[in-house]
Amino acid sequence: MKLVVKPSADELTIVSRRLLRVTAEDWKAPGEQFLRIRDSALDALLQAAEAAPNCLYVSRRVLLLLDCMLRVIDEPSLTSATAFSTLRF
């Protein structure tokens, strides 16, 4: 007999299609789209993305995927731009 342990709903990381289809209206409050990139860390990345307006769509999509990856590997939230210069990052 094989014992199967199923994780509870709060342990699962689910990446929805909606997350990858953020509307222009949703970008007015981008903090609601991100769970692991927050506060000044998110602000710094969004400013960098907006510095190249011709690549804005791709840059924002990359940020969403980075946030998804951080969820999947269960990293703690990045809340400060200084987090990008740590050994862990």
Q: Is residue 21 part of a domain?
A: no
pTM, full prediction: 0.74
In angstroms, the CA 2 to CA 12 distance is 22
- CA 62 from chain center: how many Å? 9
What's 36's DSSP letter? S
Q: Based on the number of CB atoms within 10 Å of its own CB, is 36 exposed (0-12), middle (13-18) or buried (19 or more)? A: buried
Task: Please tell me the total count of domains within the chain.
Answer: 1
Q: Is residue 15 part of a domain?
A: no
Q: Is residue 10 part of a domain?
A: no
Q: Is residue 70 part of a domain?
A: yes
Of 55 and 15, the one with more pLDDT: 55
Q: Is residue 84 part of a domain?
A: yes
Q: Is residue 8 part of a domain?
A: no
- Domain hosting residue 51, numbered range: 30-89
Q: Is residue 80 part of a domain?
A: yes
- pLDDT tens string 38-89: 999 999 999 999 998 899 988 998 999 999 899 889 899 999 999 988 888 8
Q: Is residue 23 part of a domain?
A: no
